[in-house]
Chain A
Amino acid sequence: MQWETVIGLEIHAQLSTKSKIFSAASTQFGAEVNTQACGIDLGMPGVLPVLNQAAVEMAVKFGLGAHADIAHTSVFARKNYFYPDLPKGYQISQYEFPIVNKGYIDIPLDDGTTKRIHITRAHLEEDAGKSLHENFNGYSGIDLNRAGIPLLEIVSEPEMHSAKEAVAYLKAVHTLVRYLNICDGNMQEGSFRCDANVSIRKKGEEKLGTRAELKNINSFRFVERAIHYEVERQISILSHGGTIIQETRLYDPNKNETRSLRSKEEANDYRYFPDPDLLPLIISDEFIAKIKQTLPELPQEKKKRFMEQYGLNAYDASILVSSKEIADYYENVVKESGNEAKLAANWVISEWLGALNKAGCDIMGTPISSAQLGKLILRIADHTISGKIAKVLFENLWNGEGEVDELIEKQGLKQVTNEAAIEKLIDEIIAHHPQQVADYRAGKEKLFGFFVGQAMKLSEGKLNPKQLNELLKIKLHQ
């Protein structure tokens, strides 16, 4: 039996406002437990919510970035349920009338094409607090620092058909919110998290299968693994004649499995109704136009520009625009290198990103500045040094041993480009290896590499390979 996987994602992006969505309490991460919750966050008797305009602006930014409709009127609703870390006994969210409707985002596929994933809606809501289950003598503790932090819940259409596509979509949204500067995207701290709705159906069937909602997925890797596990589980059930039940399942990254949290029957009736403490949110065209002016160049536009302006292929361009920091770094390197765009792309992608990855270092903490890397590439381009020497210098720069020109000078790494000097060196090699020269001249052309190696060894890599090849060929054929 051929099965088709159907995936829709609900992403919760924490908006980077200074204060909470309905109170003036700070949103700073990592503060002492319960020090960032005011009376409003605590659900004190008599308190009232007041909407934070910054959260609205960020939601509108997202809507514009996702080519979506911004609702001129949206409505906050109460989602009622009891839980100790939900202070008011309801969460203020948006239900029937969200602020953002009908957008899309394009994701890159492996074959180099892109696929359009539609965004059903995105709505504003407040986060709940956190229950702490350790060290309370049989009770649970509650930390309300997180209560009231603004979230944008971004709901996709069920249009992804593999874990890979789901990850690509998640990454694209992640990139977008970071570009827009509306979410720090930190998955470990929970600023960017997602639930996945996963179902399978027989290939060719129209009707969606019964879905499971996977909760608690806080890394790109876990999304992929959780979906893989869940798809296998569902296939196994259906192939054995079983039925899938609609339920919420928790992903356990330690065991790499999903397990049932609650079934549809046990689900809450949230009794949504418009929050009478908040008026409908009215957004004018002027407000939207004003925000539009503040939008930065977005990943898709930037990618297109990189391909056109720098002559990059789609693959390299997507890597370089995958974060605004990388893109900015790259563009600086290009500038400093005297417009060696392709060479710069190679160096940024394979050397710099590789080194960052290996060191487990983030972009902002790079030991090599874009100016330094640009200079290094400039020196390759103007034949001062060879690519091979440049790799050694890259290490030196990484370790903070000095500046490019200074290092070249100090270590005498300047490429030898004087023809007479190179010819002299070649003559020496020919004199010391008569047998190899004879064999080469007798037709054993493979030996050419041996002579190149000898020359590089003697010159400590300081020869320009192209120049060496030319001169070596002339000498050997004399």
Chain B
Amino acid sequence: MYRKTITALSHDLHAKKISSVELTRLFLERIHKHNKKLNSFITITEEYALQAAQAADVQLAACAAHPLTGIPIAHKDIFCTEGIKTSCGSKMLDNFISPYDATIVQKLKAAGTVLLGKTNMDEFAMGSSNENSYYGSVKNPWNVSCVSGGSSGGSAATIAACLALGATGTDTGGSIRQPAALCGITGLKPTYGRVSRYGMIAFASSLDQCGPLAKTVEDVALLLNALAGFDERDSTSVDYKVPDYTKTLNDSIDGIRIGLPKEYFHNGLQGDVAKVIETAIKEYEKAGARIQEISLPHTHLSVPAYYVIAPAECSSNLARYDGVRYGYRCNQPKDLEDFYKRTRSEGFGSEVKRRIMIGTYALSAGYYDAYYLKAQKVRRLIRDDFNQAFKKVDVILSPTSPTPAFKLGEKANDPISMYLSDIYTIAANLAGLPGISIPAGFVNQLPIGMQLIGNLFDEAKLLNIAHWYQKITDWHQRIPEGF
């Protein structure tokens, strides 16, 4: 039962084959059983979940239900949830009970989903391995000595281990797609502005985007239907029509043009990962897709530009955590300066502090033009690369991450090597484009993700092309041993 998809269980719920309360109990039991090992949840909202499940059953009985009614889900702990601890993976917010719901939390609530808990994450979404969480690292269900990826590692591991049917994540430089790839599930980063950021704790505002994680493309499409849409509380959300993303999933992909960026395939791609991706490419070709090499000439600049822009924005976004109004506050401050310095030194972890310092430096008088402004210009060049590419192709295909999940601790002391694990995902954030990662095979018993990047607001096409691959493969149906 728990291995089923949202789509399947939605049918069962509506057909009264199972109740939401039963389903919720089942998943709560699984969480209690496996969370110690995986550490994918920070907070389990058992009581709250059962209440929501009861309410969902009432809705279902009244036949007034949404396709997601009664479906147990989890939110990344970056989304504000009223009356529930919202820690963002940080000691700084360990005592923070949000007084309000994020827009997407409201939306999924309104759709009748059942919140099982809040998932673990890298502190303030800064990390690619989930080792930067105040609550400890998340283990990869495929091999618990490996990382889950990050920063939405808790959500990805939760789905991979069948501890919830769907989860939310955020993606600033790959934080949905990379853990989805490393955990062997499906994760979508929508177009910037497609989903409201209101109530999503900011890391880098111009890059952050909320998106769904689930086992299948079909489930992701269902979740996106509920998440997407303009929000007047988020000035950067876009008032652009939301289609039914499930409607076009089975459209033909005959004649679709798929681009392969030569910069992604020629530099440092591991042989085994390349083989997995090449197999997928051949399948698409067989189905009538037109494969062509394209060039994204400024690819080599995306990681450096990202590591100026994201820290710069984070240095300002995280200034509010000062211990004055909420959150961690140091003991017995001598004076105001001591209050600030100790609150922030003690409340933030080392990666967060590293990025705040990099960002503060990049915005400082005399350095702004050389770093922040220059990085913004690079961002424009990267966007232009994609604009050129999308004149020739419909989607761009690549690996999601250069390697499968690495060992816990392996890159913990090497930030540069860690940063490079996002090399294929970061450009989509800089350009605001949607990207999806789907399971495409295994290397050393660890899942490999394939990434598809689409043009602005072209999620439907991305989902369509990704779904086609899931129709002819079963990678997305594999469940790690022991779960």
B-binding residues in A (CB < 8 A): 39, 42-51, 78, 80, 82, 84, 87-90, 142, 269, 271-273, 276-279
Interface size class of B (residues with CB under 8 A): 35 or more
Is the beta-carbon distance between B232 and A273 smaller than 8 angstroms? no
Residue among B360, B363, B368 having the largest count of chain A Cβ atoms under 10 Å: B363
Is the beta-carbon distance between A276 and B319 smaller than 8 angstroms? no
1/0 per position for B283-301, CB-CB distance to A under 8 A?
0000000000000000000
A-binding residues in B (CB < 8 A): 79-80, 86, 88, 93, 96, 98-100, 102, 197-202, 204-206, 232-236, 312-313, 315-316, 318-322, 324-326, 336, 340, 360, 363-365, 368, 372
Is the beta-carbon distance between B372 and A45 smaller than 8 angstroms? no
A271 with B316, Cβ < 8 A, contacts A82-B340, A279-B235 known: yes
Is the beta-carbon distance between B100 and A87 smaller than 8 angstroms? no
Contacts of A45 in B (CB 8 A): 80, 86, 88, 93, 96, 98, 201, 320-321, 326
A46 with B198, Cβ < 8 A, contacts A90-B316, A271-B316 known: yes
Contacts of A269 in B (CB 8 A): 364-365
Contacts of B321 in A (CB 8 A): 45
Is the beta-carbon distance between A87 and B320 smaller than 8 angstroms? yes
A44 with B372, Cβ < 8 A, contacts A80-B363, A84-B336, A278-B235 known: no
Is the beta-carbon distance between B326 and A44 smaller than 8 angstroms? yes
CB closest chain-B residue, reference A81: B319
Is the beta-carbon distance between A42 and B325 smaller than 8 angstroms? yes
Is the beta-carbon distance between B364 and A44 smaller than 8 angstroms? no
Is the beta-carbon distance between B360 and A88 smaller than 8 angstroms? no
**Min C-beta distance of A320 to chain B, whole Å:** 45
| A48 touches which of B86, B198, B325 (Cβ 8 Å) | B198
How many A-B contacts at CB < 8 Å in the complex?
Answer: 97
8 nearest CB pairs, A to B: A89-B319, A271-B363, A276-B205, A276-B206, A43-B320, A46-B199, A45-B201, A46-B80
Q: How far is the CA of A141 from the CA of B192 in the complex (A)?
A: 39
Is the beta-carbon distance between B316 and A48 smaller than 8 angstroms? no
Contacts of B336 in A (CB 8 A): 84
**Min C-beta distance of A13 to chain B, whole Å:** 24
Contacts of B319 in A (CB 8 A): 80, 82, 88-90
Q: How far is the CA of A142 from the CA of B326 in the complex (A)?
A: 13
Contacts of A80 in B (CB 8 A): 315-316, 319, 363
Is the beta-carbon distance between B324 and A46 smaller than 8 angstroms? no
**Min C-beta distance of B347 to chain A, whole Å:** 13
Q: How far is the CA of A142 from the CA of B324 in the complex (A)?
A: 9
Is the beta-carbon distance between B199 and A47 smaller than 8 angstroms? yes
**Min C-beta distance of B384 to chain A, whole Å:** 19
9 contacts between A and B (CB under 8 A): A39-B100, A44-B99, A46-B80, A47-B198, A78-B316, A80-B315, A87-B320, A87-B324, A271-B364
Contacts of B340 in A (CB 8 A): 82
**Min C-beta distance of A197 to chain B, whole Å:** 20
Q: How far is the CA of A87 from the CA of B360 in the complex (A)?
A: 18
Q: How far is the CA of A174 from the CA of B204 in the complex (A)?
A: 41
Contacts of B236 in A (CB 8 A): 48, 276-279
Contacts of A49 in B (CB 8 A): 235
Q: How far is the CA of A89 from the CA of B365 in the complex (A)?
A: 18
**Min C-beta distance of A79 to chain B, whole Å:** 10
**Min C-beta distance of B329 to chain A, whole Å:** 12
Is the beta-carbon distance between A51 and B235 smaller than 8 angstroms? yes
A273 with B316, Cβ < 8 A, contacts A46-B201, A82-B322, A84-B336 known: yes
Contacts of A51 in B (CB 8 A): 235
| B322 touches which of A48, A89, A276 (Cβ 8 Å) | A89
Contacts of A89 in B (CB 8 A): 316, 318-320, 322
Is the beta-carbon distance between A273 and B102 smaller than 8 angstroms? no
Q: How far is the CA of A45 from the CA of B77 in the complex (A)?
A: 12
Contacts of A50 in B (CB 8 A): 232-235
Is the beta-carbon distance between B316 and A43 smaller than 8 angstroms? no
**Min C-beta distance of B104 to chain A, whole Å:** 11
Is the beta-carbon distance between B235 and A46 smaller than 8 angstroms? no
Residue among B197, B202, B235, B368 having the largest count of chain A Cβ atoms under 10 Å: B235
Q: How far is the CA of A90 from the CA of B99 in the complex (A)?
A: 22
Contacts of A48 in B (CB 8 A): 197-198, 233-236
Contacts of B232 in A (CB 8 A): 50
**Min C-beta distance of B474 to chain A, whole Å:** 38
Q: How far is the CA of A273 from the CA of B375 in the complex (A)?
A: 13
CB closest chain-A residue, reference B204: A276
Q: How far is the CA of A42 from the CA of B99 in the complex (A)?
A: 12
Contacts of B201 in A (CB 8 A): 45-46
Contacts of B325 in A (CB 8 A): 42-43, 87
**Min C-beta distance of B340 to chain A, whole Å:** 6
CB closest chain-A residue, reference B86: A45
Q: How far is the CA of A271 from the CA of B326 in the complex (A)?
A: 25
Is the beta-carbon distance between A277 and B372 smaller than 8 angstroms? no
**Min C-beta distance of B84 to chain A, whole Å:** 13
**Min C-beta distance of B205 to chain A, whole Å:** 4
Contacts of B365 in A (CB 8 A): 269, 271
A277 with B320, Cβ < 8 A, contacts A42-B325, A45-B98, A47-B199 known: no
Given A50-B233, A89-B316, A271-B316: 20 more A-B contacts, CB < 8 Å = A39-B99, A42-B325, A43-B320, A43-B325, A45-B88, A46-B98, A46-B201, A46-B202, A47-B199, A49-B235, A80-B316, A84-B322, A84-B336, A89-B319, A269-B364, A271-B368, A276-B206, A277-B205, A278-B236, A279-B236
